[in-house]
Structure 1
């Protein structure tokens, strides 16, 4: 007979995994995750058959949360600076409000526990956003900058911006504006836009 499951326990396990992955990486043991969640180690496997399944579920939860942050409000639809600024502001707001989630997300994305199927699923969450960014970059930078490279630069600038905001929260708007201007000026430097 299968044991009954509880959404509260599942959430506690995911929350503990998120916190510990953010602190120490995906090498954290399921025993440590179970202790932090206040459950027996075997309980982790009632909800997630393997550690890989737990890590993939955590990635899915975090990516869905981040994707939802981008859907707040509507983009200006200008195909340029306004659309990119909209994305940037939402990324910075989410990452600044949830630094542990951001760190866990970064660590999960490079983890050997994440399956290719999960990676494709997560990419699909951002399909429209990635297409808009690629088209905007193509329109404003031409062939000078590959969209995937621009995405890496955007994430790196976001990371620096999160760190500055954490160090100086009263200057949040300043660092948000500064980071965006670095990005926009960088992609439009070779071509007017």
Structure 2
């Protein structure tokens, strides 16, 4: 059973006071007001009012869970430190990501330049993959649900594509001369 809240404790006190002093007449609240001024209850009630005032500043449900105002104040200070640490981390990560992107972009540019030096339709044909296939071929491959059959279909489609494109590039493959492959367009 969860610990009683200050409100529940106060309600119990009111009921106990009402039962303890039956000769007093009036409502429960009137009896409680009379009792709160007594020497035995007054110190407790002062502390109770302070706690209720402090706990009124707690988020909903925290006081009922047993969290005190002192705990909440401490937690707020710690949360500020944690938020500051998270913000510093996010800023550092953003800077690292920016530097990383610049480095990757630089490497990509160097790769593109290196590949451009020896690019040709024949090389692009040999390196062709799924994305270079005609859309109809891509659709046929994508429609196959079984993974092994899809891989085999992709290999078959790539083979057919390469044969067709190679025949267009070099109608007579026996007359291939290294270096002239860049002069023939790939359809």
TM-score (normalizing by structure 2): 0.20
Select the structure with the greater relative contact order (CA < 8 A; seq sep ≥ 6). 1
Relative to its length, the structure with more helix (as a share) is: 1
TM-score (normalizing by structure 1): 0.20
